[in-house]
Structure 1
Amino acid sequence: MSYDHILLPSGAATTPAEVDAHLTAQQGVPEAEIVAEIASELNRRNEELPEEDGFLSVFPLGGIDHGSALHLASPYDAIGYVRALLFELATPRGYAVYDPQLAWLFDPADRIAATVTHGGAGEFPYLTRELVDLWIPTLAEPGPYLIVERADQEYIQTYRHPDGRYALEYRDGSPDKHFVTELGDAAAVAELIWDWTTGDRTRFGALDWEQLAL
């Protein structure tokens, strides 16, 4: 069994239904130059590895009339590696990454660069408002947390408790600048994480923060 990822141009879709519509519309359209370029690089990197370490379930990629879309399948044990590689290649070219298993769309438009760790799905190189709004209400075991880190010891994170409440923490570079609060509203947590990510602390003053001693 393989794990799928799909590349498509930034702005081509905002919902899973729109992704499906875009892919349908690309059927029979000659392969776009950018798609051929990305496919060629993925093929090259896969070919450099021993066959047993390859990250493509179907090889080689490309040469199919799917227009501006590129579909690739990989072994489950290569998911993290493939995701990182796709962000490396797709983001600078203005391409989004779609995960059809989770129905997650990573569109680089309006992204904020950060190290983002999703407790259930691993690490990602940026955050968007759409992603934080999608992720926070659905955090669940075995990793019900999200961390957004801009620099060493500079991060915001949340943990969703079994009762649905959220512990929200942020740290501004040192132990004496590490604070925590609790909220029961997923939308408010998402807003605050996005505010912190964009550098807006306006809403933070309305909350009761407690200094956290570790």
Structure 2
Amino acid sequence: MSYDLVLLPSGAATSPAEVDAYLTAQDGRPAGDAATEIAAELDERNAELPEADSFLGAPAADGVLGDALFVSTPYDAIGHVRSLLFELGTPRGYAVWDPQLAWLADPAGSTPAAVTHGGAGEFPYLTKQLVELWIPELGQPGPYLIAETGDQVYIQTYRHPDGHYDIEYREGSADKHFAATANDSRIVADLIWGWATGDRSGFAAVDWQRLTF
């Protein structure tokens, strides 16, 4: 079995229905230059590896559909291929669509951060849409999310089996390391997005405690 990921131009869609409509409209259109270039780069990098280490389930060139690109990958290479799509697609103005999870990572309106999703791996940026989608769905085996913007500058949350969240943030030093708990996923998502965008207006409503070790 394989896993599918799709590149489509940033701003082309904002919901699963719009993604489906956009991709349907690409059928029969000439192959776009950017999608073709990305596919060629993926195929070239894949060809440099031994067959046992292949990260493509099919030639990427076969997945070009107009300005979109469908990429098939083995399950054990999902994280690697997603990272490649961000590396190659983001500078060219492309969003990454995961049809299995219905996740759309679009650089439009994003804020850069080193993001670790406990169940899905690493991402190079956050969007409000992703944060609001991810936080309620955090679960085993990795029910946590971390967003880091500098050395010892991060915010993170952990969702417990009963549904409540631990959340903490650190601003570079031990005396600026705070923690709180919350029961509402919307509050947690707002705090994370606010922190990432520099908006701390919602923090005053939370009972933060300075962490000491």
> Do 2:171 and 2:177's aligned partners in 1 also have CA atoms closer than 8 Å?
yes
Whole-angstrom distance in 1 between the partners of 2:175 and 2:107: 34
Residues 1:154 and 2:153 aligned together: yes
With the length of structure 2 as denominator, give the TM-score of the two structures.
0.96
Bigger shift: residues 36-45 or 203-212: 203-212
Question: The residue matched to 1:56 in structure 2 has which SS?
Answer: coil
With the length of structure 1 as denominator, give the TM-score of the two structures.
0.96
Task: Kindly provide the CA deviation profile for residues 2-46 of structure 1, in whole angstroms up to 9, marking residues without a partner as x.
Answer: 111011011111111111111111111111111111111111111
Aligned to 1:62: 61
Aligned to 1:3: 3
Aligned to 1:163: 162
Whole-angstrom distance in 1 between the partners of 2:109 and 2:154: 20
Shift of 1:206: 2.5
Whole-angstrom distance in 2 between the partners of 1:37 and 1:122: 26
Runs of 4+ in 1 over 3 A off after TM superposition: none
Question: The residue matched to 2:20 in structure 1 has which SS?
Answer: helix
> Do 1:29 and 1:65's aligned partners in 2 also have CA atoms closer than 8 Å?
no
Task: Kindly provide the CA deviation profile for residues 157-196 of structure 1, in whole angstroms up to 9, marking residues without a partner as x.
Answer: 1111122111110011122211111111111111110010
Question: The residue matched to 1:190 in structure 2 has which SS?
Answer: helix
Rate the CA distance shift 1:75–1:208 in 2: closer, same or farther, 3 A.
Answer: same
Residues 1:193 and 2:192 aligned together: yes
Rate the CA distance shift 1:68–1:6 in 2: closer, same or farther, 3 A.
Answer: same
Shift of 1:84: 0.7
Task: Kindly provide the CA deviation profile for residues 112-162 of structure 1, in whole angstroms up to 9, marking residues without a partner as x.
Answer: 110111111111110001100101111111111111101121100111112
Gaps in structure 2 of 5+ consecutive residues: none
User: 1:1-214 residue pairs with structure 2 within 5 A?
Assistant: 1-59=1-59, 61-62=60-61, 66-214=65-213
> Do 1:27 and 1:65's aligned partners in 2 also have CA atoms closer than 8 Å?
no
> Do 1:117 and 1:146's aligned partners in 2 also have CA atoms closer than 8 Å?
yes
Shift of 1:62: 2.1
Aligned length: 213
Whole-angstrom distance in 2 between the partners of 1:37 and 1:160: 40
